[in-house]
Amino acid sequence: AATSTAGVFGKMPGRVGDTPIPAAGTWADGHVAASGTGQGEYFIRVAATAQTAWRVAAGQSLSEAAQAVIDEIGAMGGDGGLIALDRDGNIASPFNSQGMKRAWLTTEGEIGVEVFRR
């Protein structure tokens, strides 16, 4: 798994966000690979990227699982989004913030780029 971040402006010295923390900001296993972006403290609290994978392993679709995690983050007062892929090539990118930049390339050659809501 690999995730990159632009970071948080004006952060406290020593703050570590969710990006480098497996299960929070980045995750990959035999079912799902996911990266998160947003208010990292909330992603850490809910183990956002791993929880997405665990939900898929328990039978939810990728889209349902990723949206449920973003809904949980939102209910706690946080905002952000996920981009997640499953082993069948499905892509989910739910978010509850004003916008989220994302791009993808499918095995069929479909290229997608989006910034705001679909």
Query: Which domains, ranges and CATH numbers included, belong to the chain?
Result: 26-114 (3.60.20.30)
**Cα–Cα distance for residue pair 29/8, rounded to 1 Å:** 28
Structure tokens at 68: 């449920």
Across the range 16-30, mean pLDDT stands at 87
Across the range 99-114, mean pLDDT stands at 90
Whole-number pLDDT of residue 113: 94
What type of residue sits at position 71? D
Q: Which of 1-10, 21-30, 41-50, 72-81 is the least confident region?
A: 1-10
Quickly state the pLDDT bin for 118 (edges 50, 70, 90): low
Whole-number pLDDT of residue 10: 72
Across the range 106-110, mean pLDDT stands at 89
**Cα–Cα distance for residue pair 62/91, rounded to 1 Å:** 7
DSSP β-bridge partners for residue 114: 102
Q: What's 67's DSSP letter?
A: H
